[in-house]
Amino acid sequence: QELKGKTAFITGGASGIGLGIAKALLGEGMKVAIADIRDDHLEEAVAELNGGDDVLPLKLDVTDRDAYAKAADEAEAKFGKIHILVNNAGVAALGPVELASYGDWDWTLGVNLGGTINGIVTILPRILAHGEGGHIVSTASMSGMMPHGGAATYTTGKAAIVALMETMRSELEGRGVVCSAFCPGAVQSNIAEAGKTRPEKFADTGYAQTDKGRQSAGDFMHLFQTKEEVGQRVLQGILNDELFILTHAEFYEGVKDRAEAMIASVPRHLPENPEYKETFSVLFR
Ligand code: NAI
């Protein structure tokens, strides 16, 4: 699809992965609205993108539904129709599941999954209404595709985002809106600072100690992909209408093992009921 001259609305677009995506889409001649909770990130991102009138910085907390609608209005007022929505704003609190407090659960799920839902409720009807087609990319994570220990509040929201994109993809097929689950492996970003925007009402945490441990565990940034690399990968995923947009070859064996475990768990020794299969065929493919 032709992206030039169209508009993208990118949450968490002022840092890390979101900024990398903004760069890539701007490079394709798109106009980009970058919505972010942090003023300093917005200011730095505008300078880094250096896109003049094609970049609109918007201060937005994606969990604030009224503010979300106003931000979408602002983007439309400046650029016209929104064609691409990138639900990317995200935070992380990591540690053993038994230590996760309600504050840890509510904050991470509220931003990661709740923010994605708010993006869809706010912007999907606008995309469907203009009828020019569009694309919704939601940043999940490899942790949403291959959930691992020590990250329950994070993987739960990310797996839900993968399911949401799969659901919406089949539902919106044929109506001009393509949906993709973006599942990056590790990427250089500022996510370790996420706690800075944690609201007071979710301050209660069981992860104070594990967070401290994590921050002193060493710097592995040099092993991670850059925001430019993953931004280009998302651009390719959009251009190719990919359902799952993955970034790292290192996950091949794990993805294969998981897929094989799922296949092996289907009780094929049991007889199929042809009528059930026929009646609910939409469930089986
Ligand atoms: P980042 O911290 O560099 O960027 C996230 C941006 O989102 C920040 O500018 C932050 O201010 C903003 N943000 C946070 N809460 C917000 C809210 N309530 N409303 C609006 N904006 C908000 O982090 P990164 O790593 O670029 O994260 C982007 C997405 O990528 C997240 O969804 C994260 O879970 C996901 N991800 C990151 C990976 C990594 O290795 N960095 C790997 C897999 C997924």
In this prediction the ipTM stands at 0.99
Task: Say what the pLDDT of residue 209 is.
Answer: 80
157: nearest Cα among 63, 225, 35: 63
**pLDDT of res. 285:** 80
Q: Express as a percent the part of the chain with pLDDT over 70.
A: 99
Choose which residue among 21, 37, 117 to substitute to test ligand 1 binding: the one with the highest number of ligand atoms within 8 A of its C-beta. 37
Pick the residue whose CA is nearest to atom 34 on ligand 1: 90
Q: Which atom of ligand 1 is nearest to the CA of 61?
A: 19
Element (H, E) at 186: none
Indicate the average pLDDT of the chain. 96
Report the C-alpha gap between 41 and 35 in whole angstroms.
10
Is residue 216 predicted with pLDDT exceeding 70? Answer: no
**pLDDT score, position 217:** 62
**Residue 213 pLDDT > 90:** no
Q: What is the pLDDT of residue 224?
A: 97
Contact (Cβ atoms closer than 8 angstroms) between residue 168 and residue 179 = yes
Give the Cα-Cα-Cα angle 103, 104, 110 (nearest 5 degrees).
85
Joined together, the tokens standing for residue 228 give 């430019």
CATH superfamily assigned to domain 7-252: NAD(P)-binding Rossmann-like Domain (3.40.50.720)
Provide the token pair at 119: 């993006």
Residue closest to 211 by CA, chosen among 98, 95, 129, 133: 95
Neighbour-count burial for 37-60, b at 16+ CB within 10 Å, e otherwise = bbeebbeebbeebebeebbbbbeb
**pLDDT category of residue 267 using cuts at 50, 70 and 90:** very high
Q: Strand pairing partners for 244?
A: 181
Tell how far the Cα of 42 is from the centroid of ligand 1, in angstroms: 13
